[in-house]
Structure 1
Amino acid sequence: MHAFVTVGSTRFDTLVQTALSDVVLDALRAKGYSRIVVQCGNSDFDCHAFKQAGDTWVRRDEGEVEVWRFKPSLQEEYEQADLVISHAGSGTILDVLRLRKPLIVIPNETLLDNHQEELASSLADLGHLRASTISGLPEAIETLNPSNFVPFPQFNGSRFREMLDDEMGFA
C-alpha cells in the first residue's frame, strides 16, 4: 500500500521531519504501507539517509521512502495513495475527500490564525477525516480505521448557485 504525505505549498518542517521519523515510518509499515511518498515543499529535512535522483530523494530499507519538493499537480499522488497525511489546508482537504481517500490532517500551528485547526476539527467532528497533532501522528496512524469515515458529499453545483442567488438577493 501507498501513503502520501503533503505540506502543499507551505513550509511545515515538523510535519515532514515527523513523517520521516522511525516511529511514524514503523507505524505506517505496521499498517501495511510499504511505499511512503513525502511532498516536503520548502521544508527542511535530513536527506543524509537518502540517495538523490534528480529532484527526488529515495531511501529503500523496509520499503520505499521517496521525498520531493514540488510537482505541478498533486492530483495523481492523491489518486494513487491509499492514505493521505496532510497539513490542514482547505484545498488539499477538499481534493482528497472528494476522492474518498482516508485522510489524517495536522494543522500547522505556526500560522498566524487557527483556521486550519477550526477546519480540521469541524471535518473530524463530522467524521470525514482524522485530525491529529504532530505528537499524536503515530497513534492516529495506529488506530486509523478508514471504514469509520463518513463519505464527504460530492459537490452539487446547483446548490451552490442557489446559495449564491439567495445571498445576492436574486432568489
Structure 2
Amino acid sequence: KSYIHAVGSRLSKAFSMEEFDSEEQLEFWELSAEHFSRKETPAFSDIVAWMDLLYRAPVHFIYKAEENKLILHRRHVITKNILKEKNEERPAHKQTPQQKEYIKDFEYQLQNLEKKMDMDDVFLEQGITSHSIGQCEHIPLFTKGGDLWGIYCAGPYTKSPDQITPKLSIVGRILASWLISLD
C-alpha cells in the first residue's frame, strides 16, 4: 500500500498545475506596469500587495543598509496569510479562538524581529535569511549606481515561484526604484 501511495503522490506532483500560473504572472506584471504608468510612486502597502501576488506571505519587511549593517526600515503584516487559508477568507470576528491566539502569538514574534543585522557576501548570495519568525526569502535592492540600498524580505517559509526566479533581478530593480523614491 505504501508503494502505491508513493507512486501516486509522485504522479500527482508531476502532473499538478503550476504553483504560479500564466494568469497570475500576467496579473503581477500588469500591476507593476499600472504602478509605473502613474506619476506618483506606489504606497508601501501597494508595493506589498504587488509582492504578495508572488509570495502570499504573512510578513513583508525591508532592511536598509547603513554602515555595513542592515537596519529594519519598514514592515507590513497580512493577517489573512498567517492562517494560510487561500480558499476561505474569514472576517476577523469569525475566526476561532485558536486562530486568534495563533495570530496574536505570531504578531508578538514580529515585535522581536531583529532591528539590526550583520551583512556579508555570503548573506547576499544565499537569497534566504533566518529571522525570529523563521526562514524568509529576500531580494537585494540596489541603487542605480550599483550600491546595496537594502533588502526586501517576505516570509516566513516562502519561496519565489520557479517561473519568477530568473526574473528576480528585474523585480529587485522595480522594488528598489519604488522604495528608494519612497524614502
TM-score normalised by the shorter chain: which range applies? Answer: under 0.3
For the pair shown, the structure with the greater C-alpha radius of gyration is 2
TM-score with structure 2 setting the length: 0.22
**Whose helix fraction is larger, Structure 1's or Structure 2's?**
2
